[in-house]
Amino acid sequence: MTRVSRLLFVGLVLVGGLVAPSAMRRGPAPGERIPLRLTDAQFWRLAEEASESSGYFQSDNLLSNEMHFQDVIPELVQRTEPGGIYIGVGPEQNFTYIAALKPKMAFIPDVRRGNLQLHLMYKALFELSADRADFVSRLFTRKRPTQLKATSTADEIFEAFTNVEPPAPEVYQDNLRAIEELLSKKHGFALTKEDLVGIDYVYHHFYAFGPSINYSSSRGGGGFGGFVTYADLMRATDGNNGARSFLASEDNFTTVRDLEERNLIVPVVGDFAGPKAVRAIATYVK
């Protein structure tokens, strides 16, 4: 199996709900019963009731370590239609797949509750941010460079943030408080103390390392260790010079933000081979 074939296989697994040929479907397609929006109560109940107990993984996995995960996107786009159900795993690479494939709803099961906490952080940041530059500013707790605009490329955005120094810890605390208040007060999610600590834990790493954060940063790897950085991932292409990252354009960003605002990206705690999570997702979308 060639490297590209392996990547394509992985991509098809990640979006398995989207690749079933329409001719093989009986009755309504999976996405046809999905509401246009979940209420806050529906979102939280679905995330909690579908979840299993948190499991172990060797890394916090705060971001992807695969530079070429976009390589499968051109073929995936050809093989699928918008409006299906996306099932992915892990951190931010899901947003890039979602932006390209435009599902009606997305589920992100992962063995660690830390991943659910990471995605709750992202949900809040998407909803709090007016555009990509605002999002990057909030994600890393860095002052927004004045020259950035709607047409800025990912290269231009991350180049502009490269030399922006981290602010005082009080600014980080203000941003963290905004995240917690949006989740707990606006949405009314019943976050546990463990969840609040977990959100602080993941968010603080983005503050501490900035756009140079990588897969090993939470293990003391900093910007070293041979892993790609967040900035690298957002600047990457699909192998055909197509900029596909969710921060490559305002359209990509807005596609993801719209789903987040409608509570249609649902993180779940569970192993793909576990007893509950994936089965619960399948039952929901039938």
pLDDT tens by residue, 235-259: 999 989 999 999 999 999 999 999 9
Range of the domain at 81: 35-285
In a domain, 153, yes or no: yes
Parallel, antiparallel, or unpaired for β 265-269 and 85-87?
Answer: unpaired
CB-based burial of residue 214 (10 Å sphere; 0-12 exposed, 13-18 middle, 19+ buried)?
A: buried
In a domain, 225, yes or no: yes
Q: What CA–CA distance (Å, rounded) separates 132 from 92?
A: 14
Nearest to 198, CA basis, from 214, 181, 180, 211: 180
Q: What are phi and psi of 20, to 5 degrees?
A: -65, 125
In a domain, 211, yes or no: yes
Q: What CA–CA distance (Å, rounded) separates 98 from 227?
A: 23
In a domain, 223, yes or no: yes
In a domain, 106, yes or no: yes
Q: What are phi and psi of 110, to 5 degrees?
A: -155, 145
Q: How far is CA 240 from CA 74, 75, 91, 125, in A?
A: 9, 11, 24, 30
With beta carbons less than 8 A apart as the criterion, state whether 106 and 131 touch. no
Q: What CA–CA distance (Å, rounded) separates 225 from 245?
A: 23
* CA 162 to the chain's CA centroid: 22
- For residue 29, what pLDDT is reported? 58
Strands annotated E in 53-173: 85-87, 105-110
Whether residue 7 is predicted with pLDDT greater than 50 in this model: the reply is no
pLDDT tens by residue, 176-228: 999 999 999 999 999 999 999 999 999 999 999 999 999 878 765 444 456 89
With beta carbons less than 8 A apart as the criterion, state whether 266 and 43 touch. yes
In a domain, 12, yes or no: no
Domains: count for the chain: 1
pLDDT tens by residue, 22-52: 333 344 555 568 899 999 999 999 999 999 8
In a domain, 9, yes or no: no
